[in-house]
A and B are shown apart, each in its own frame.
Chain A
Amino acid sequence: MTDMTDMTVNTRHVPNRLNSHAYRTLRSWEALLLVVAVAIFVLNSFASPYFLNAWNLSDATYNFTEKGMIAFAMALLIISGEIDLSVASIIALASTAMGLAVQYGAGTPELVMIGLSVGLLCGAFNAIFVTVLGLPSIVVTIGTMSLFRGISYIILGDGAYRGYPDSFAWFGQGYIYWVFTVEIAIFAVIAVIYGVLLHKTNFGRAVYAIGNNPTGALFSGIRVQRVKFILFLLTGLMSGVAAICLTSRLGSTRPSIATGMELEVVTMVVLGGINILGGSGSIPGVVIAAFVMGLVTFGLGLLNVPGIVMSIFIGLLLIGVIALPRIWAMIAARRSQT
């Protein structure tokens, strides 16, 4: 096509990147969200004298740690174009299984194994329906959402399991160092693991490819079904981890545990900048979103705002954060046309 002598004349130099790293970071969703987070932090510190207290802040982290653990796995799943609405029900089932085991005298290590295993099994169940049977994940997980929690109700009825071993309380009530709870440490570790997985590995690249164009990804040699299967397993596993933490924190199990949490997790993911339709988003965004939601709930809690009214703020935040940039763009477009 082109011989050597033509190279200097015909070959155009296409640069690797047009904009510098700093520029791209500044203009990102995550940056906007960080600004929102800082603003809320500042607002909170003015709104209540109890806010800037290390121990209060430490307690406040429980608002988002368990949800956040699941949110990281959910983020990858949503980026790949799927969703899992059964996560809260997996918590219920895992928690019920642990509670049942306690009645038979299980100790903390066994409980952890059971919690994680049930999470994995539920994840596998979802995975089979979606990847092997090829069914849409939204309806499958609406089904398993009822099924998993339903099984918990069958086992436990409207009673409760208590009597967890004292050592078990470490997960949800223990401290790693000073004000830093075990849960926030687990949250941080999981955040780092998922951050690396999504942004620095071939697996993460495959997730993005699948989310943008599953057919194109398949035709490019990516094992789409295998990747999705693993993502559902991970979501189930993280739900198991969250189940351990939550059960440990509450010290008891009811089948109604974590009702509604799945929607809070999805809210956290979307707030974090993950496109619900798949294909884009980042882990740092989810981390910041977790903090934002935690700050809002904690701040409003300090002002004695009831939980259900707090949800109004979260709902407005969710819609606002997506609507405002679009409204802005529409106004800008209209202005440039006149």
Chain B
Amino acid sequence: MVSRNIPVRETILGGAILVLMGLISTRFAGFVAPANLANVFNDTAPLIILALGQMVVILTRCIDLSMAANLALTGMVVAMLNVAMPGLPIPFIIAIAILLGAFMGAINGLLVWKLAIPPIVVTLGTMTIFRGIIFLISDGKWVNAHEMSAAFTGFPRAAFLGLPVLSWIAILTVIVFGLMMSRSALGRSIFAVGGNPHAAVYTGINVGKTQFLAFTLSGALAGLTGYLWVARYAVAYVDIAGGFELEVVAACVIGGISIAGGIGSVGGAVLGAIFLGVVKNALPVVNISPFWQLAISGSAILIAVAFNARAGQTKGRIILKSAEGSV
């Protein structure tokens, strides 16, 4: 029996999204208009980028609950930087955001690698520490739109070939990660570490180091999203993206990334994020109060987990010859 790597999970999820959009368009045809779909994609871009980072971490059997705090801290730092030095070119700011995010991710990674502290404990701790630091550096004050330079807030919105730069950055991230996971040694090691960490050692892969790199990558993406978030919403304060880390994990879970590690795909993470994005954007349009959003995404997680677990179950050993034909 040869599996041609038809991604069953992802196909079903993609189908579910199409069905969902179909249902929405019966209530409001304008939803599936290309311009609106582009809007939805753009709105979901930060979640897509973060989901990719979280995916890498979860694949290595870890979890990163500090992503949103990382995002918020980096966002605040670059916003304050922009206020203090409005002339600083945007590419420079983005580089700083990514590096700062990566640095924070690396702290998580080091604690997991070198001190073997369980990731949920590490990121629970760094989550509150990062948020607290935002308060310390900003003194609780907000950075508002009028204090940011036009270049700063304008960059993610700038249109390029019909899509805002924010969308393009998401697309670029997807491509880079897609390539990395399937074609680079690091990418395959990430799957190996999550699938069979014991065996990974025998093949010369350093499990702890791979997890460290996973956290650094997710931190880098959180940093990047930090800039994009404060620039797009044109505001920076302590509580931005509060609780968002759980939405990111939800996107991964819905996308078929197994919390046990080793199973999942870039496509799945992206589709999981898009699913949540479609739901969020569709609610106001079909006159369902936004208060339903939380319950819907909660139910989606439960359904996705139940479905993925069922699909992934290995069949019991087939010993009886008579059973071989029927199963």
- Residues of chain A at the chain B interface (Cβ within 8 Å): 129, 133-136, 138-140, 142-151, 153-154, 157-158, 259-260, 263, 266-267, 270, 276-277, 306, 308-312, 314-316, 318-319, 322-323, 326-327
**Can you name 17 A-B pairs with beta carbons within 8 Å?**
A134-B309, A143-B250, A143-B301, A144-B298, A144-B302, A147-B295, A149-B294, A150-B296, A153-B291, A154-B291, A276-B120, A306-B135, A310-B132, A311-B131, A316-B129, A318-B121, A322-B121
- Specify the main secondary structure of chain B where it touches its partner: helix
Are B117 and A319 touching (Cβ within 8 A)?
A: yes
Chain A residue, CB-CB nearest to B302: A143
Partner of A323, one of B111, B124, B127: B111
Partner of A150, one of B63, B120, B121, B295: B295
Query: In the complex, how many angstroms separate the beta carbon of A31 from the nearest chain B beta carbon?
Result: 21
Query: In the complex, how many angstroms separate the beta carbon of A265 from the nearest chain B beta carbon?
Result: 11
Chain B residues near A143 (CB-CB < 8 A): 250, 253, 298-302, 305
Given A139-B259, A308-B238: A146 in contact with B295 (beta carbons within 8 A) = yes
Are B128 and A142 touching (Cβ within 8 A)?
A: no
Query: In the complex, how many angstroms separate the beta carbon of B112 from the nearest chain A beta carbon?
Result: 11
Using an 8 Å CB-CB cutoff, how does the interface string of B113-141 with A read, 1 for contact, 0 for none? 00111101110111111011111100010
Chain B residue, CB-CB nearest to A151: B295
Chain A residue, CB-CB nearest to B132: A312
Are A314 and B250 touching (Cβ within 8 A)?
A: no
Given A150-B292, A308-B131, A326-B115: A318 in contact with B125 (beta carbons within 8 A) = yes
How far is it, in angstroms, between the C-alpha of A144 and the C-alpha of B302 when the chains are bound? 7
Chain A residues near B306 (CB-CB < 8 A): 129, 133, 135
Are A147 and B298 touching (Cβ within 8 A)?
A: yes
Are B135 and A308 touching (Cβ within 8 A)?
A: yes
Partner of B121, one of A260, A314, A319: A319
Query: In the complex, how many angstroms separate the beta carbon of B246 from the nearest chain A beta carbon?
Result: 6
Are A319 and B299 touching (Cβ within 8 A)?
A: no
How far is it, in angstroms, between the C-alpha of A270 and the C-alpha of B121 when the chains are bound? 8
B283-327: which residues lie under 8 A (CB-CB) from chain A?
289, 291-302, 305-306, 309
Using an 8 Å CB-CB cutoff, how does the interface string of B97-113 with A read, 1 for contact, 0 for none? 00000000000000100
Are B305 and A136 touching (Cβ within 8 A)?
A: yes
Chain B residues near A138 (CB-CB < 8 A): 63, 120, 259
Query: In the complex, how many angstroms separate the beta carbon of A14 from the nearest chain B beta carbon?
Result: 33
Interface status of B260 (Cβ within 8 A of chain A): yes
Interface status of B249 (Cβ within 8 A of chain A): yes
Interface status of B154 (Cβ within 8 A of chain A): no
Query: In the complex, how many angstroms separate the beta carbon of A285 from the nearest chain B beta carbon?
Result: 15
Given A138-B259, A326-B115: A266 in contact with B124 (beta carbons within 8 A) = yes
